[in-house]
Chain A
């Protein structure tokens, strides 16, 4: 693999991974918020 390919692959790979992590974190939090939003303290 050439330097250029490695460079592109790493840059895009890391950004894609981070983007996916952000997305999943948000999904989970949205679901949790929807659940606990209905559960009010007595």
Chain B
């Protein structure tokens, strides 16, 4: 039997070290962001304490909408392109989508929580929120397609197409909703843009926030990727075992007689 069939190589020492480092760096950076964001930085003139969510919401949004989605879309294209096709891209895509879904949902939730006291509404149909909501639905669609039982190649193919369509659709949606608002009655009242005068400890904390959540995403991506590798191989090996149990049944006792499949190899009725 080919030894590489059911064996999964553990991560090399460098890989383990890198991932562990990522995880620890992420944990430290996030903790620091929280500490700085909640206690050390001063409240804003306009938004008072509500501005503290700026250390959390925009970084999460950046990870969700650009980093995760970007990696997912790029990986999908690279998988679809015959010259660069490799299992690596498919696994990376699903990892990016899954982690990205969590971040996207959090983008909407933190955005909503920020919006409620700031603008009085839990939700508004502006371009950014609407496209983010749609992105979430599209990502869930990807995960749904992923769940359909199929051989890895077909599954990768279908998922990649879904990702590609989503990548094309989100800009169109964003653009059309934006247009909708500007044509309708002038700019929307919701302006999530930060005032350009953010400076001092607030600016540094914001930067740290972006770094922290990016590190966290990278760590989660790596772990999720590893999970994908392992579960693929496990599925293969389970299939192997099941197949061999079947074959063993064929050469063992007559069907109908209860008995262990593997144990009865070689016994004929």
Contacts and interface: CB of A to CB of B under 8 A. Distances in A.
Please classify the interface of chain A as helix (H, G, I), strand (E, B), loop, or mixed, using the class held by over half of its residues: helix
Dominant SS among interface residues on chain B = helix
Contact of A4 (B10, B38, B240): B38
Given A8-B56, A26-B226, A37 B8 contact: yes
A27 to B, nearest CB: 10
Contact of B230 (A7, A10, A30): A30
Interface in A1-42: 2-8, 10-12, 14-15, 18-19, 22-23, 25-26, 29-30, 32-33, 36-37, 39-42
B52 to A, nearest CB: 5
Contact of A26 (B30, B216, B223, B244): B223
A7 B113 contact: yes
A1 B220 CA distance: 29
Contact of B114 (A3, A14, A30): A3
Contacts of B244: 41-42
B130 to A, nearest CB: 21
Contacts, number: 101
Given A22-B223, A37-B8, A4 B106 contact: no
Contact of B109 (A2, A11, A40): A11
Contacts of A40: 1, 3, 6
Interface residues of B, number: 47
A22 B53 CA distance: 26
A6 B113 contact: yes
A40 B237 CA distance: 9
Nearest to B243: A41
A12 B3 CA distance: 42
Interface string B91-108: 000000001001001100
Interface string B227-257: 1001101100110110110001000000000
Q: Which of A11, A32, A39 has the most CB of B within 10 A?
A: A11
Interface in B7-24: 7-8, 10
21 contacts: A2-B49, A3-B113, A3-B116, A7-B56, A8-B34, A8-B37, A11-B106, A11-B109, A11-B110, A19-B216, A19-B219, A19-B223, A22-B223, A23-B223, A26-B223, A30-B230, A33-B8, A33-B233, A37-B6, A39-B241, A40-B1
Closest 3 CB pairs of A and B: A29-B230, A7-B113, A37-B7
Given A3-B53, A14-B105, A41-B240, 10 more contacts: A5-B38, A7-B109, A7-B114, A8-B53, A10-B106, A10-B110, A29-B234, A41-B1, A41-B241, A41-B244
